[in-house]
Amino acid sequence: MEAAITFPSLGGRKIIVTGGASGIGKATAEILVANGAHVALLDVAENLSRVAAEVGGIGFHVDLAEPSGIARVVQQVAEKLGGIDGVVNCAGVVGGAALPQLDLHTWSHALAVNLTAPFLVCQAAVPWLVESGKGAVVNVASGVGLQPTMGAGADYAASKAGLLGLTRALAMELAPTVRVNALCPGVTRTPMVDFVLNQATDEQRDAFVSRYPLGRPAQPEEIARVIVFLLSDAASFVTGATYTADGGRTLH
């Protein structure tokens, strides 16, 4: 059995994870709770309460595509947990429509969830992150934000590239009190990715995976471990960085 990786500095930390009901967000919440953190899972999923109970966190139902409710929910998290020490912006949507078929609603929805929501969550959480003295933010972008792929969609690529720019800007603005970093995963076996792969032919799936030198998709916990590292004191001198965990696709 693989030995568990522990992060003692996370004990007692109060951390928001958006998109926490599934995939990378859920895996991140599980590792955080296992390391003694208090975790608030923000999601729109109907099964949020069940997942939150399973991982040992607290669920807060919020539609991140609706800006008006985000600050209120962050306030509720801070009141419930007694502060906020960290934020993981993991929620995301992918469209995949080619430019001629990409309508304005789909474009706007991708930017709302993938870029505007992380901005609003961070903005609302700043007072508590600063008060923490060890505040940390991890924005989960994508390898597509560094090097677009056919089929990912201009809406997804643009929103994730924008999230990398937001990360660097916040890292400068919030230093030295709050660290802000980004992680760019490659293809990961999440419900969103599985849905896309299930629509593809065997030939298309083989071609997709062949772009990755490691020859396979990641498991959610492989990405989650990097996120948790960036939140922890093990990354205490890391800010404004863009980490890749993409199986070598972009070969940084």
Q: Is 156 a catalytic residue?
A: yes
H/E element, 221: helix 220-231
User: Which one-letter amino acid corresponds to residue 2?
Assistant: E
60 Cβ partners below 8 Å, 6+ apart? 40, 41, 42, 43, 48, 73, 76, 77
The 14-18 sheet, strands edge to edge? 58-61, 38-43, 14-18, 86-89, 135-140, 178-185, 242-245
The strand ranges marked E within 58-195 are: 58-61, 86-89, 135-140, 178-185
The catalytic position among 7, 60, 156, 212 is 156
Written as six digits, the tokens of 194 are 């599985």
Q: At which residue do the structure tokens 């965990």 appear?
A: 245
Q: At which residue do the structure tokens 């509720």 appear?
A: 76
The strand ranges marked E within 54-192 are: 58-61, 86-89, 135-140, 178-185
DSSP secondary-structure letter at 64? T
Strand 58-61 relative to strand 14-18, pairing: unpaired
Written as six digits, the tokens of 104 are 């304005």
13 Cβ partners below 8 Å, 6+ apart? 32, 36, 37, 38, 85, 86, 134, 231
Beta-bridge partners for 39: 15
H/E element, 17: strand 14-18
The set of catalytic residues is: 156
